[in-house]
Amino acid sequence: MGRGVPLTRKRVVVLLLEIVLVIVAGIALAAALLFYAAVGPFPWMPSVRWWGLAGTTALVFWAVVKQFRHHWHQLSFWVEVAGLLAIHLSAYTALLLRVPEWRLLWFVPLSVVEGGVLVLVLAKVAGHAL
């Protein structure tokens, strides 16, 4: 078995905070979806495709950024992530505005591929080691 990160008091607090944040985000997303389902779509509400974009964007970027935790203290890392996020949102916005019908399930294969590409870009092109 490999050596892991020692479980210090600080590490336990960080892990608990991460768990609480994920739970709060999940509850907020569930509440938003329930609200959307209960009151129905009004013109001021985003359509399901935009909810899907928000959810998959958060999930993909969280999974990718988590892999580069040891670079979080570097400003250049966050600038690169912000640039990749801008490209991601621009491309999906152009796509979702032009495609008349978009199924939520279509986000899954694109997100898997995109997550791999983002890791490669940050690791190889930007020079951040995993």
**DSSP for 20-88, written as a single string:** HHHHHHHHHHHHHHHHHHHH---TTSPPHHHHHHHHHHHHHHHHHHHHTGGGTT-HHHHHHHHHHHHHH
At 3 the pLDDT is 61
pLDDT number for residue 5: 65
pLDDT mean over 20-38: 84
Could you tell me which of 96, 130, 83, 92 has the C-alpha nearest to residue 111? 92
Percent of the chain at pLDDT > 70 equals 91
pLDDT of 81: 94
φ, ψ (nearest 5 deg) of residue 70: -70, -5
The mean per-residue pLDDT over the stretch 54-72 comes to 92
pTM (2 d.p.): 0.68
Q: So what's the pLDDT on residue 85?
A: 95
Is the pLDDT score of 109 beyond 90?
Answer: yes
∠ at Cα 129 (64, 11), nearest 5°? Answer: 65
